[in-house]
Amino acid sequence: MRRRGVTASSLPPLLLVGAGRMGGALFSGWARRGLAPSILVDPNPAAGLARDDDIVLPSLMAVPTSFAPAAAILAVKPQMAAAVLAGLGRILQPGAVVLSIMAGRSAGGIAAAIGGGVPVVRAMPNTPAAIGRGITVAFAGPGVTDAQRTLCDTLLAAVGDVAWVDDEALMDPVTAVSGSGPAYVFLLAELLEQAGAEAGLPPDLSRLLARKTVSGAGALLAASAEDAADLRRAVTSPGGTTEAALAVLMADDGWPKAVRAAIKAASQRAAALAT
């Protein structure tokens, strides 16, 4: 695995298919970097997302064949893939690359559904991309040139860090760990809030403590060069309250077992979605 970062002062015209939460976050990041006039395909894009010189269309069928995007970004649910991919072939011009952030859809399957030897980069960002703090892992399929890979790296880096893998099979555990991972963190905040209220804290205070503790610990982790295990040990005084809590959470039937089982289940589901 290796990191490749590229700084761009301007970006070529793009075709974004799906302007929901993740697609919208990406588009906003590109706009901040000087994106050329582009086309967004979404029947209900986020309000204020498109700029004055962008075009918003309800479907791929409405995209004029004269439009020649440097990349087509697929930011739709996997369940919509068949309809989207079937209409993409008539739009793409030679030299264009497809950048897919659809979970579970393989690069080869996407290329085959579009038709011809279309170069496809498969990527898995996560929701912190909405605030520019995402992490994306990408895989370049057959036929992707260095220039196309660099372009995709630039597009993904607009919302956070980027890492590349050479083995597409790794995208399933990537999806389980980082793609789905924010939901696990949000669940922790949810459970802390509930447990605090059950312990007698006023609900508003319990919510504040849970949210600030999770977000603050995450910020500390991001700012520290120490391993997560070292940071955990630094909080854990012998015979103290944290040690008592961790004895429960780290028991044989506690978090270690549950987290491993959760990652395995998510990885298997990602593999099952692959086509």
Q: Tell whether the model's pLDDT for residue 47 goes beyond 90.
A: no
According to the model, what pLDDT value does residue 82 have? 84
Q: Are residues 160 and 198 in the same domain?
A: no
Q: Tell whether the model's pLDDT for residue 127 goes beyond 90.
A: yes
Q: Are residues 129 and 152 in the same domain?
A: yes
Residues 245-268, mean pLDDT to the nearest whole number = 96
* Calpha distance 53→65 (Å, rounded): 18
Q: Which residues pair with 53 in a beta bridge?
A: none
Q: 198: pLDDT confidence band, cut at 50, 70 and 90?
A: very high
Per-chain mean pLDDT for the chain: 92
According to the model, what pLDDT value does residue 84 have? 87
Least confident of 60-69, 76-85, 114-123, 133-142: 76-85
Take residue 103 and report the two structure tokens written for it: 């979970």
* Calpha distance 229→210 (Å, rounded): 21
CATH number at residue 188: 1.10.3730.10
pLDDT for 13-40, tens place per residue?
999 999 998 999 999 999 999 999 999 9
* Calpha distance 164→123 (Å, rounded): 9
According to the model, what pLDDT value does residue 89 have? 87
According to the model, what pLDDT value does residue 9 have? 45
Instruction: Specify if 6 maps to a domain.
Output: no
Q: Tell whether the model's pLDDT for residue 233 goes beyond 70.
A: yes
Q: How many domains does the chain have?
A: 2
pTM, two decimal places: 0.89
The pLDDT > 90 percentage for the chain reads 81
Domain that holds residue 28: 14-174
Q: Tell whether the model's pLDDT for residue 257 goes beyond 60.
A: yes
According to the model, what pLDDT value does residue 79 have? 81
Residues 61-82, mean pLDDT to the nearest whole number = 91
Residues 242-247, mean pLDDT to the nearest whole number = 97
Q: 275: pLDDT confidence band, cut at 50, 70 and 90?
A: low
According to the model, what pLDDT value does residue 5 have? 42
* Calpha distance 93→116 (Å, rounded): 12
Pick the last residue of a domain from 174, 204, 220: 174
* Calpha distance 216→162 (Å, rounded): 23
Q: Nearest CA to 64 among 94, 46, 87, 31?
A: 87
Q: 2: pLDDT confidence band, cut at 50, 70 and 90?
A: very low
Cα atoms in the 13 Å half-sphere on the side-chain side of 153: 19
Q: Are residues 27 and 151 in the same domain?
A: yes
According to the model, what pLDDT value does residue 6 have? 42
Pick the last residue of a domain from 174, 205, 239: 174
* Calpha distance 162→230 (Å, rounded): 25
Decide: 70 and 240 in contact? Cβ < 8 Å. Answer: no
Q: Are residues 34 and 147 in the same domain?
A: yes
Q: Are residues 206 and 133 in the same domain?
A: no
